[in-house]
């Protein structure tokens, strides 16, 4: 059973997907000064009054990288928020509408491969540090410990709609390829990263889709999908930036 980790508005799908609006499970609260390049990709169509929908990463002053599956609403409904740790506090941060959406041409909703999109900001976030793209496939290495960021569901392990982070060890492709349901739902070594804890307890969750997986100061991956949130034996699946970097680079240059 595959699911995305964005925000779904169909309540009946909640048990099937980690995309519904329920932040990172088992994480810790962090600050926007520590991660200024983390972007909340909100929409006026969100069920939440804060507009919470997905996450994204600022890679140039006017470009953000997110998940393709997050882009299921009209472009005009989306807006990017930078520098707002608590999404309920509209007095903080900077906001920009989205002027253009590029979705990877290889994106396939049946298996969620190439789950990446590049959005252009109508109002660039000038003066904000950006996060470089990871271009080396070898960076996706078993034993590495990247960090995932987001405002998504916490399942009562922390405050919702507040920026959190969690270390999620890279388990190597073989771990997810050994999971029959993950293979059936499209996990691919060339374009995905398998990260988390086999015992469960810490994971990205609903509302974290499109957010950054960061290693050594670079964007290693993008929150894509998984089975449940922080369930034993079901790690998170991320779009591997190195596997899509040539196409993404063309959009962010």
At 110, the pLDDT band (50, 70, 90 cuts) reads confident
**Can 69 be counted among the known catalytic residues?**
yes
**Catalytic one of 46, 96, 209, 224:** 209
pTM attached to this predicted model = 0.91
Is the C-alpha dihedral spanning 178, 182, 184, 187 positive or negative? negative
**Catalytic one of 62, 115, 140, 208:** 115
CA 146, CA 229: separation in Å to the nearest integer? 18
List the domain boundaries for the chain: 1-253
Residue 252 CB partners (closer than 8 Å, separation 6+): 59, 60, 63, 65, 118, 133
Tens of pLDDT, residue by residue over 24-61, are 899 999 999 999 999 999 999 999 999 999 999 999 99
CATH 2.40.10.10 is the classification of domain 1-253: yes
**Can 49 be counted among the known catalytic residues?**
no
Maximum Cα–Cα distance for the chain, whole Å?
A: 47
Tens of pLDDT, residue by residue over 222-235, are 999 999 899 999 99
Across the range 234-242, mean pLDDT stands at 97
At 5, the pLDDT band (50, 70, 90 cuts) reads low
**Can 209 be counted among the known catalytic residues?**
yes
């Amino acid at each position: 059973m595959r699911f995305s980790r964005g925000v779904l508005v169909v309540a009946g799908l909640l048990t099937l997907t980690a995309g519904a609006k329920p932040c990172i499970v088992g994480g810790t609260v962090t600050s926007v000064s520590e991660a200024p390049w983390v972007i909340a990709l909100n929409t006026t169509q969100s069920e939440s009054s804060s507009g919470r929908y997905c996450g994204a990463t600022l890679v140039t002053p006017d470009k953000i990288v997110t998940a393709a599956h997050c882009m299921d609403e009209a472009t005009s409904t989306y807006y990017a928020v930078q520098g707002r740790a608590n999404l309920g506090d509209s007095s903080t941060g900077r906001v920009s509408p989205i002027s253009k959406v590029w979705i990877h041409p290889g994106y396939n909703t049946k298996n969620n491969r190439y789950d990446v999109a590049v959005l252009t900001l109508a109002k660039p976030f000038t003066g904000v540090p950006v996060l470089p793209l990871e271009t080396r496939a070898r960076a996706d290495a078993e034993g590495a410990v990247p960090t995932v960021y987001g405002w998504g569901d916490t399942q009562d392990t922390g405050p919702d709609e507040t920026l959190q982070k969690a270390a999620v060890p890279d388990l190597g492709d073989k771990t997810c390829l050994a999971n029959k349901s993950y293979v059936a739902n499209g996990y691919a070594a060339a374009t995905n990263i398998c990260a988390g804890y086999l015992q469960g307890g810490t994971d990205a969750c609903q509302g974290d889709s499109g957010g950054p997986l960061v290693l050594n100061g670079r964007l290693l991956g993008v929150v894509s999908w998984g089975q449940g949130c922080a369930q034993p034996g079901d790690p998170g699946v991320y779009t591997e930036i190195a596997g899509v970097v040539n196409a993404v680079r063309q959009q962010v240059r």
